[in-house]
Structure 1
């Protein structure tokens, strides 16, 4: 849902000031840019957009002194809610957006590659690179964003693996019978083979209240988010299911805005977006262990599912990879080839799938 209030916070970083001092004022063109995300500034990927992406762009533009960016960052619902970034960028309420793609599986089906292949890899670095490479090797992903009047820059992974956070101990599928589980997008389908369990759609900012009020008994999220949003207070049990790492954040630019940018600025944005992708993945991996430790320190308990329990869960799921491949094939994209190429990239980097999702 889009809100038209433009509460933004302009910033001009030190690098741009240095550029103005080093070059005549008339030689520097200022480009205004509105960045949007519905999630709050404390969210890891939003923090790193402010602390990594923006300063890196400023630094590189300052090297030539031809251009400088005047950034207006609008997060936490000031312009759009978390589910509204895709539409917000499409309509021009933001020039650059961090789109949470799991909310838009019908409009961005190929972005579901990692979500449709759970229990394969817990390495955010490997998954991020593989998904982004597929986006550049096959036209589907970029064309999906083009239909939303956006230019694709890079796909990011902000979690090492989804786990299950609960108000009671869980060690097998039987422990979920009759329970409600919060999730977002494709991961709600992980419950389809679990007898008696029901998925409830929600977003990361909703999960605490959903658990606290008893609307749900469990929530699927990752350790860093559990720490940031203090999930141990309402869900003191974490089942180490290791659903796997999933891409959920994609940086895009409004098409009309993009068409007016100088080539130099376009190149810098594209290059930094890839570095931002890798930067986020590294942080996700670094914070995973310390976030679990923080969860324990906050009173949480961690229960390791056995290999047999993980396999039972994986085997209970519908063939999500086949469904995605078929959907993309029918739309004229190389769905089968994309899914298999993605899985090959993961296994070439050490992934050991609990279930073989290869499309025959």
Structure 2
């Protein structure tokens, strides 16, 4: 009897050992961005976000992701990510929010407050906190059938790149300036200056063909897209860092995800936010040096000329806040809270954008 029990236990142990462990559930996800993989934020999504998600899911072994990464126009163009995620062409997207001022007006918060901070880390954190503390930003994405995960700040500051040297705002009179959204309003106080909307991938050709005389972009992008060849003068305007990317998830896809996967995506999105902002800051000086090495000339702009430029602009921050207020959203409170966060981090506004509230 004793021998029988030993044999039975031995057989049972052998059977248990032979049984395969429960297989992890595979979740397929299509990630889209219209920009090419060489773009810093896309590259870091592939090399930081995705590996981090996989590592954390592997720690429990319950789920694994099967990714389809579709960048550079393979599914959508740069301006088509918001619509692509809404339609389910992508499950996760990196939305360039500056293209969608009418659908995502609250995302322009940093763009309507130039000349305050060129620290991508501070701006990214402040905007993301505003998105969590006020419902407005998340509600706007919900209307587009998307769940907001985190803000992305991929530039330390917009600068002005030109075919001929300029030193101040007045030197832009009668010229054409390329921009990608709200920053086109920065030239509204300059006589005869006309803004021309374009995307980052368009700026090289716009300058080389003479469609525009100047373009507003940031040093890391200028290096990546070889802007020194067509815009050999950079005016150090220091317009500041802006949030221009948001990681979102299709709402229907999100609802089907297990809570464990949702938690991991949200955690990693915040780390991706800070990771990308840190890279933007690290590459800023290097990119300036690369621009000069490629034949570019950097022109310093005085503090007085920066203030004169800021004061010449319409108060676009006030307009932004009041427009949201009229729509029933706390625009004025968001604006004051955001600037307070920047000031608490050490930023000193060149102009008081809250004047009149």
Q: Which runs of 5+ in 2 are unaligned?
A: 1-18
- What's the TM-score once normalised by structure 2's chain length? 0.94
Task: Work out whether 1:338 is the aligned partner of 2:334.
Answer: yes
**What residue number does 2:68 align with?**
72
**What residue number does 1:245 align with?**
241
Task: Work out whether 1:96 is the aligned partner of 2:92.
Answer: yes
**What residue number does 1:190 align with?**
186
Q: Which runs of 5+ in 1 are unaligned?
A: 1-22
Number of aligned positions between the proteins: 338
Q: What is the distance in 1 between the residues matched to 2:186 and 2:171? A: 15
Q: What is the distance in 2 between the residues matched to 1:80 and 1:315? A: 39
- 5 Å matches for 1:1-360? 24=20, 26-359=22-355, 360=357
Residues 323-352 of structure 1, C-alpha deviations (whole Å, 9 max, x = no match): 111111111111100000000000000001
> 1:27, CA displacement in angstroms?
2.6
Residues 137-183 of structure 1, C-alpha deviations (whole Å, 9 max, x = no match): 00000000000000000001000000000001110122111110000
Q: What is the distance in 2 between the residues matched to 1:223 and 1:185? A: 18
> 1:25, CA displacement in angstroms?
6.1
> 1:24, CA displacement in angstroms?
4.5
Q: What is the distance in 2 between the residues matched to 1:247 and 1:333? A: 20
Q: What is the distance in 2 between the residues matched to 1:340 and 1:66? A: 44
- Structure 1 runs (4+) deviating above 6 angstroms are none
Q: What is the distance in 1 between the residues matched to 2:176 and 2:33? A: 28
> 1:26, CA displacement in angstroms?
3.9
- Whose Rg is larger? 2
Q: What is the distance in 2 between the residues matched to 1:257 and 1:174? A: 50
- What's the TM-score once normalised by structure 1's chain length? 0.93
